């Protein structure tokens, strides 16, 4: 009998398996009786581990709290920038904070942020990664977190509204930010490429912009990096948690990724497994984010939905998981 890890790796290598793996993110399954029962029945866990970390020499950080809101100020030689986060959000597993204000709120914020990015010194996180591999053993799979396309990563400095506006109001400033993020990737790339990780996630498809922008800004990223990872025998995933994947199915096929992960089928997403398989072929692993709204219909409907889902992709490389809210929904 294969262990959980052997079974998942077999799917990722497009080899036949006796059972379809059920592999939720480890932070989306509350520990306790239910988790133990599920693991005794074959469930394993997917743990995500960064492959590098950065330090920012010469930058002083000040922080203080007012109730459940924390203010953080970064003091750089070219100016200060700040962000505000809200903590103590209750039953949220993924970080437990919400950013109320992000770093770039006005034109003057670009220079300090770009300075922070350019001055970053990167270090490998291999020890933590290998520790996680040892700790999870056959009960889980550890996925390395690699690079992100600069365009996609830039969103996190603004928030959605400011991000959309700034691209048009200050296009030259925005372009320089993307250049800084590309330079950051250049520093991180050797660490990712030479890492001990077999399975690596490379960016996301969030649905915050359309396929035209993805093709223009993000596809070149995948065309550059994925072939290099393949030469090292590594398995590459994109975290495609957008709910409008039907608009992206053609361009996803052009990225060359091995795994389309966080794929959310109907009734939440708008792309079925059958349609995705027709677009991507039998070599792409579809790693499903099981739609938690199905649970609201009760055990019988959940079982019926699951069986239909499995039957719709019989014989193809498939993993079932939770990548968004999971059992915390």
Contact 286, 263 (CB under 8 A): yes
- Model pLDDT, residue 92: 55
* 234 vs 34, more confident: 234
Q: Which of 128, 145, 138, 131 is nearest to 45 (CA)?
A: 138
pLDDT by residue (tens digit) across 182-238? Answer: 999 999 999 999 999 999 999 999 999 999 999 999 999 999 999 999 999 999 999
Q: Which helix (H) or strand (E) holds 164?
A: helix 160-169
Q: Give the rounded percent of residues in the chain with a pLDDT score beyond 70.
A: 97
How is residue 83 written in tokens? Answer: 């962000």
Q: How far apart are the first and last CA of the chain?
A: 33
Vertex 153 angle, CA 151 and 154, to 5° = 65
pLDDT(111) > 60: yes
Return the pLDDT at 72.
Answer: 98
HSE, CB side, 13 Å, CA atoms: give it for residue 177. Answer: 26
pLDDT at residue 20 is higher than 90:
yes
Task: Assess whether pLDDT exceeds 70 at residue 94.
Answer: no
The answer to whether residue 93 scores a pLDDT higher than 50 is no
- Whether the per-residue pLDDT at 312 is higher than 60: the answer is yes
> Domain spanning 4-55+120-328: which CATH class is it, in words?
alpha beta
pLDDT tier at 1, thresholds 50, 70, 90: low
Residue 41, CA distances (Å) to 35, 100, 242, 294 in order: 10, 41, 30, 21
Mean pLDDT in the chain? 95
Query: Residues 133-163: pLDDT tens digits?
Result: 999 999 999 999 999 999 999 999 999 999 9
Instruction: Please state the pTM of the whole predicted model.
Output: 0.94
Q: How is the beta sheet containing 199-204 ordered, strand by strand?
A: 45-50, 140-145, 199-204, 235-239, 259-263, 285-289, 318-321
- Residue 97 has a pLDDT of 77
User: What's the rounded Cα separation, in Å, for the pair 17 and 37?
Assistant: 22
Q: What are phi and psi of 275, to 5 degrees?
A: -65, -40
Sign of CA dihedral 170, 57, 65, 48: positive
Give me the residue label for tokens 């770039």.
104
* pLDDT recorded at residue 304: 98
* Strands annotated E in 56-150: 60-66, 69-76, 79-86, 98-101, 121-124, 140-145
Q: How many CA atoms lie within 13 A of 252 on its CB side?
A: 35
Q: What pLDDT score does 28 carry?
A: 87
**Res. 327: pLDDT tops 90:** no
Retrieve residue 185's tokens: 């990737």
If you average pLDDT over residues 79-92, what whole number do you get? 86
Cβ 180 vs Cβ 114: under 8 Å: yes
Cα 262 to Cα 255: distance, rounded to the nearest angstrom: 16
Q: Which residue has the higher pLDDT, 121 or 326?
A: 121
Tracing tokens 């608009």 back to the chain, one arrives at: 247
């Amino acid at each position: 009998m294969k262990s959980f890890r052997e079974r998942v790796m077999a799917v990722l290598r497009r080899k036949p398996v006796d059972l379809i793996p059920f592999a939720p993110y480890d932070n989306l399954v509350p520990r306790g009786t239910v988790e133990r029962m599920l693991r005794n029945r074959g469930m394993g866990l997917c743990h995500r581990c960064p492959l590098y970390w950065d330090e920012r020499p010469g930058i002083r950080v000040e922080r203080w709290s007012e109730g459940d809101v924390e203010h953080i100020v970064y003091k750089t030689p070219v100016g200060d920038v700040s962000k505000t986060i809200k903590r103590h959000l209750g039953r949220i597993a993924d970080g437990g904070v919400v950013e109320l204000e992000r770093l770039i709120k006005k034109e003057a914020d670009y220079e300090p942020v770009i300075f922070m990015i350019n001055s970053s010194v990167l270090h490998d996180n291999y020890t933590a990664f290998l520790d996680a591999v040892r700790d999870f053993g056959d009960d889980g799979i550890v996925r390395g977190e690699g690079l992100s396309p600069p365009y996609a990563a830039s969103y996190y400095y603004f928030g959605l509204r400011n991000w959309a506006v700034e691209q048009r109001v200050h296009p030259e400033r925005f372009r320089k930010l993307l250049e800084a993020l590309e330079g950051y990737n250049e520093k991180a790339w050797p660490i990712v490429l030479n890492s001990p990780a077999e399975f690596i996630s490379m960016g996301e498809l969030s649905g915050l912009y359309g396929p035209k922008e993805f093709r223009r800004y993000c596809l070149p990223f995948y065309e550059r990096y994925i072939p290099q990872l393949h030469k090292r025998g590594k398995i590459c995933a994109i975290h495609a948690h957008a709910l409008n994947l039907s608009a992206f199915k053609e361009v996803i096929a052009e990225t060359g990724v091995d795994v389309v992960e966080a794929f959310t089928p109907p009734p939440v997403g708008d792309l079925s497994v059958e349609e995705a398989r027709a677009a991507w072929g039998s070599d792409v692993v579809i790693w499903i984010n099981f739609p938690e709204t199905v649970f609201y219909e009760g055990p019988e409907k959940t079982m019926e939905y699951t069986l239909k889902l499995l039957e719709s992709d019989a014989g193809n490389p498939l993993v079932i998981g939770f990548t968004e809210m999971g059992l915390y929904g």
